[in-house]
Structure 1
Amino acid sequence: MNAQENLELGVKTSRNATLALAFLAFLKGAVGIYSGSTVLFADAVHTGLDIFASLAVWIGLKISLKSSKHFPYGYYKAENIIALFVSLLILLSGVELLREGFTGSNTTSHIEFQGLALATAVFSVLTIYGLSVYKRNVGTKINSQSLIADAVHSYTDVFSSMIVVVAVLGSMLGVSKLDSLGTIVISLLIFKMGIESARDAVLTLMDAWLDEDESERIKKDILNIPGLIELEDLKLRKSGLVVFGEVTVEVEGETDLKRVELLSEEIKTVVKKEVENLEHIVVNVKPVQRINFRLALPVFDNNGFQAKLSEHLGKAPYFLFVEIKEGKVGDYQIIENRSFNSEKKGGMKAVDLIIQEKANVLAVRNVGEGPYYMLRDNFIKILQIPDGVNTAREVIDRFQNLKEITVPAK
């Protein structure tokens, strides 16, 4: 399904869940009043408040289908504004129920029609659990984090409904104060839910991003993209159901528009892998002068810096990788080129090895058209080894003076 169909399915699911909760809240409220069970009535209020949470998800999914020139970033934050007002109502209701619970704990209560109250409480547990599974399955299918979160919220409500079952059973066994104690426990759960909902709404409206672990994973993945010198900044912010972002990276020297576009697409792919509801991300590319290099050299043997240079990129039996940091030569590594005997696309396979080893500069006699553009697209600088230079040591000594290859060999 496309994004439009996913949103429509999400809207339908939230609507169905809202209607089911409305019916359940009415049923528990009516039975609670009829039987005199304050804990069942408190749970009805709790379920009634859950309607607003489900309704907020429905509104968020619904308005995400709209667009307007006056709101270039969409209507997404309307959900957070609604959630903030709902949170205040939840807190007020929680305080009132808590007061009633403490008042009732000083008196002895008796539940009439205990069988009806118990049946209603058990029916509530089963219904809310079913709604949780329903919302979770659809939310997973359409990648809706808000629907999945609402499903988790419903799952926690299963336990509050089980408190009602215990309270009614306690009344049937003659432990009447369990009814008031159950009301107090549910009131505290309602109060906790209100605080958490208000906190999330306020933080989202203030463009906060609290998942540091996710940010670190994204940064690590971005830095693994070939061609990047540094990740200068990563900013993410939620707006209702979706996420907007901005990334600033450094690359070496001036780069053409096509290469910048390719790099931007790679960065967007990395971020989308972690943030499924990514709506838009801006990639800023800053050209800078590189001072640290990982040099790749095609060589005939594994004799370190004395290794003889290979005349052809794809036919080199080995590659020497040398770390050059701020002009100083550091560690080196020699890796076998397992595809040097390949009859087809040997050069391309050699470039794959160079990319895999995270080299950012290659020194070579000449390079064919296919490998050239593959190296360029991965931001790997190509330097030309001059005539008369035969060993890796000589290339390293002349590294700063080597000329760049700007066109492929024909």
Structure 2
Amino acid sequence: MQRSFIRSKQKRYIAIRNVTILSVIANLLLTIVKITFGVIGHSQALIADGIHSFSNLAIDAMVLLAAKYSLLAPDARHPYGHGRYETLVTLAAGLLLIVMAIGLFSEAYEHLIGHKASSEPTSIILIIAFTAIIIKEAIYHYTIYVANKVNSPMLIANAWHHRSDALSSSLVFISVLGSMAGYLWLDAVATIIIAIMIAYIGFEECLPAINKLIDSSIKKEKLLEIKKIVESVDGVHSMYQLRTRKMGINILIDMHIIVAPRISISEGHRISEIVRTNLLDEIEEVIDVLVHVKPKHANTSLNLPQRSEIIPNLQRQPIDNIDKIENVTLHYLENKLSLDVDLPLNIIQNNNQAQLLSQQFAKFIANEPKIQAINIYYHGTNYNSPQIFQIEELRNFIQIKD
């Protein structure tokens, strides 16, 4: 399973790298062409569009780096891997768009309010803007296709940069037509609209990235899917305190499950392992699951004594064959403490001796108000023997079975 996961990550990186390299080439050419002909053709909107393409070029570089470093395996300093490189790049890309939008808006607004003279854009601007629309829209669709295929929010964000570039080129096209018709102010208005659009996309990218960095939970639909998987496991009574967080595209989970109150630690651990394995197998994005096992009714007071206090005290009691005790299991349930004591059957010769032993244990717990009950279990030297006794005595804490 681990090898398959690594291969999947490598294929994911290759897919992101290939589509981003295509984006780099397109953005580099468009940046040069837009800014150059924006100056030559007297179009402030095309220059702004060229700066937009340049910002996309910078973001492409960050995407390539993030895709590479997020592939790194977990290490001592990064035990959960490097998935947040993608989140950081998404945040940086959004912030870069916002900063760029503020600059474009400020310059265009000053140009519009200051009534600065504008030169009429040339017809070559129309050809460049139309070509940019076709190229960017095509790259948008291809990038979205790859992003959905590899489940990359970072690549989806980058795809929307291409869509915003196509939209801004559309505004350039419209503004140039208006300017050529004598409405020279349309160039500045188009620049302002482009700036607002870029800022909006920047905020749309920043907010989810910030939520991931502050460990916001995953969507409700995915939480319900997790709950369904967990509660379908045999032995799980219920679950609570389900907490999730994102690490790039990956999901980390921790939760508490409720199990039967008197099962063994090993059975409880096995149930938790089945829960963990099922989540890892059935939800592709999940890479780590921490399951806390809690017995039903285990609302335990911290004032109850621990094993290190109980066992030495028990061993000091004047109880027959106290040194023959093979195991003591402590149960902390409903703010009460009870003990299961295992003894060999061969120490009991008759029922009277069993009753005497029960009275000695009864006297012990009478002096120990924090212990509610003791259950004594006898077994033969052959564990397959059907002979098992429980001694019943004071306050129903000791029972006997044939």
Length-normalised TM-score, structure 1: 0.62
Letter in 2 for 1:140: N
User: 1:24 Cα shift?
Assistant: 1.5
Please say if residues 272 and 291 of structure 2, whose CA atoms lie closer than 8 Å, have aligned partners that are also in contact: no
Whether 1:285 and 2:293 are equivalent positions in the alignment is: yes
Q: Which of 60, 85, 102 is 1:54 aligned to? A: 60
Does the CA-based 8 Å contact 2:230-2:275 persist in structure 1?
no
Contact 1:108 1:177 in 2 (8 A): no
Unaligned residue ranges in structure 2 (runs of 5+): 1-6, 299-400
Q: Name the counterpart of 1:92.
A: 99
How far off its partner does 1:138 sit?
A: 2.0
Q: Bigger shift: 211-220 or 1-10?
A: 211-220
Do the aligned residues in 1 keep the contact of 2:70 with 2:86 (CA within 8 Å)?
no
Distance 1:218 1:152 in 2: 30
- Give the SS at the match of 1:228: coil
SS at match of 1:129: helix
Deviations 1:256-281 (A, max 9, x none): 544432232223345x1xxx433323
What per-residue deviation string (whole Å, max 9, x for no partner) do you get for residues 153-184 of structure 1? 43344322211111111122222221111000
* Structure 1 CA distance for aligned equivalents of residues 97 and 226 of structure 2: 36
Which residue, 186, 189, 192 being the options, matches 1:178?
A: 186
Give the structure 1 partner of residue 197 of structure 2: 189
Displacement of 1:190 in angstroms is 2.0
What residue in structure 1 maps to residue 373 of structure 2?
A: none
Deviations 1:168-206 (A, max 9, x none): 111222222211110000111122233333333333222
C-alpha contact (below 8 Å) 2:86/2:154 kept by paired residues = no
1:107 and 2:113 are equivalent in the alignment:
no
Matched, 1:9 2:9: no
TM-superposition CA deviations, 1:22-74 (whole Å, max 9, x none)? 22222211111111101111111122222333333322211022233322222
Matching residue of 2:308 = none
After TM superposition, the runs of 4+ consecutive aligned structure 1 residues lying more than 6 A away are: none
Which amino acid is 2:276 matched to?
Answer: S
Specify the SS of the correspondent of 1:2: helix
Tell me the residue number matched to 2:175: 167
| Distance change >3 Å, CA 139–CA 81, structure 1 → 2 | closer
**Aligned partner of 1:260: which letter?**
S
2:142 to 117, 129, 134: 134
Structure 1 counterpart of 2:44: 38
RMSD: 2.7
Counterpart CA distance in 2 for 1:149 and 1:193 is 9
The change in CA–CA distance for 1:172 and 1:224 in structure 2 (over 3 A counts) is farther
Aligned residue in 2 for 1:262 = 274
CA spacing shift, 1:157–1:229, aligned 2, 3 Å: farther
Cα deviation, residue 147, structure 1: 2.1
Aligned residue type for 2:84? K
Task: Describe the shift of the 1:257–1:20 C-alpha distance in structure 2 as closer, same or farther (beyond 3 A).
Answer: same
Residue 21 of structure 1 aligns to which amino acid in structure 2?
A: N
What TM-score do you get using the length of structure 2 for normalisation?
0.63
- Aligned AA (1:75): H
- Paired residues of 1:247 and 1:283 also in contact (CA < 8 A): yes
Structure 1 letter corresponding to 2:190: G
Q: Deviations over 1:83-115 (max 9, x none)?
A: 4444444333222211111122233423342x2
8 Å Cα contact 1:59-1:79 kept in structure 2: no
Separation in 2, partners of 1:36, 1:234: 59
Return the letter of the residue paired with 1:154: H
Query: Retained in 1: the 8 A contact 2:87–2:212?
Result: yes
Instruction: Note if contact 1:209-1:237 (Cα within 8 Å) is conserved in structure 2.
Output: yes
CA contact (8 A) 1:160 1:186 kept: yes
**Aligned position for 2:397:** none
Distance 2:121 2:246 in 1: 49
CA distance in 1, matches of 2:153, 2:100: 27
> Does the C-alpha gap of structure 1 residues 148 and 185 become closer, same or farther in structure 2, counting only changes over 3 Å?
same
Match of 1:74 among 75, 81, 84: 81
Matched residue of 1:70: which SS? Answer: coil
Give the match's secondary structure for 2:184: coil
Deviations along 1:211-252, one digit per CA (max 9) or x if unpaired, are 344434443554455543222122222223433222322222
Count residues with an aligned counterpart: 286
